[in-house]
């Protein structure tokens, strides 16, 4: 098997890294739901005051977005899972057919992590005696064979995150009266985007101010562009 450097921090297990990845993905999904639904309903509000139309457009946008996120996540996690399973199967065959070469390989990988030659050899022998496949999966592939990500879980989480985000602009545009709904939506959306920017910056240990600024600018642009488009179409009587 190829000697990939296994020291990437993408965690597959139930550890802190993996929980952070899930949290980060949830924030991004919610952020997507806020921006795309806000752009949609503000654009429609540029053309019409009819609450029923706003509700229909917003709800359709929410469902389309959350389904698309879930489907995309399902496909990408399934593909990753398939390739992890294939890598594990290949590893299993190699362990059965050339155990000696595999022991040498594991020893070298452990040396690469900083163990001395003697110690690496001893650790490799003990790991191999205990659970050779797990040792190779973890050290060589960076996979925990018991913790492959479930594509249905990933899809469900994406669906939920997007829906939670999308509900905010949808409710903000539908619930207030015609004269109030636009500014209430804009303020609510910018506040939510500030919160999302803050959370993802904190989770990624990145500078908070810049993340908030970028995130709010993106949302403001989306709403500005769609509102202008909606207002033009509305004025043209389309
Ligand atoms: Zn191996």
Q: What is the pLDDT of residues 131-181, one digit of tens each?
A: 999 999 999 999 888 888 889 999 999 999 999 999 999 999 999 999 999
- pLDDT at residue 148 in the model: 83
Give the residue-averaged pLDDT of 219-224. Answer: 96
Give the residue-averaged pLDDT of 85-90. Answer: 94
Residue 18 CA to ligand 1 center (angstroms) comes to: 24
Q: Greater confidence, 19 or 129? A: 129
Residue 106 CA to ligand 1 center (angstroms) comes to: 6
Choose among 94, 171, 177, 83: nearest CA to 132: 94
Residue 19 CA to ligand 1 center (angstroms) comes to: 27
pLDDT digits (tens, 9 = 90+) for 111-135: 999 999 999 999 999 999 999 999 9
- pLDDT at residue 79 in the model: 95
* Cβ proximity of 40 and 226 under 8 Å: yes
pTM of the model: 0.79
* Cβ proximity of 37 and 169 under 8 Å: yes
Residue 90 CA to ligand 1 center (angstroms) comes to: 9
Backbone angles phi, psi at 87, to 5 degrees: -65, -40
């Amino acid at each position: 098997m190829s000697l990939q450097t296994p020291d990437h921090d993408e965690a597959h297990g139930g550890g802190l890294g993996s929980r952070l990845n899930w949290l980060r993905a949830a924030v991004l999904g919610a952020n997507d739901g806020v921006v795309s639904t806000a752009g949609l309903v503000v654009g429609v509000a540029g053309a019409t005051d009819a609450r029923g139309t706003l509700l229909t457009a917003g709800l359709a946008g929410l469902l389309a977005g959350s389904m698309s996120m879930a489907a995309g996540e399902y496909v990408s996690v399934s593909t990753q899972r398939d390739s992890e399973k294939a890598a594990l199967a290949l590893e299993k065959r190699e362990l059965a057919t050339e155990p000696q070469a595999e022991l040498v390989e594991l020893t070298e990988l452990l040396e690469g992590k900083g163990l001395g030659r003697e110690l690496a050899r001893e650790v490799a022998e003990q790991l191999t005696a205990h659970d050779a496949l797990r040792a190779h999966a973890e050290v060589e592939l960076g996979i925990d064979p018991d913790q492959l990500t479930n594509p249905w879980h990933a899809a469900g989480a994406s669906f939920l995150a997007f829906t939670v985000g999308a509900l905010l602009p949808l409710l903000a545009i539908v619930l207030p009266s015609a004269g109030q709904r636009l500014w209430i939506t804009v303020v609510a959306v910018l506040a939510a985007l500030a919160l999302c920017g803050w959370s993802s910056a904190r989770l990624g240990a990145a500078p908070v101010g810049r993340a908030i600024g970028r995130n709010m600018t993106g949302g403001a642009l989306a709403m500005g562009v769609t509102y202008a488009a909606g207002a033009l179409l509305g004025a043209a009587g389309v």
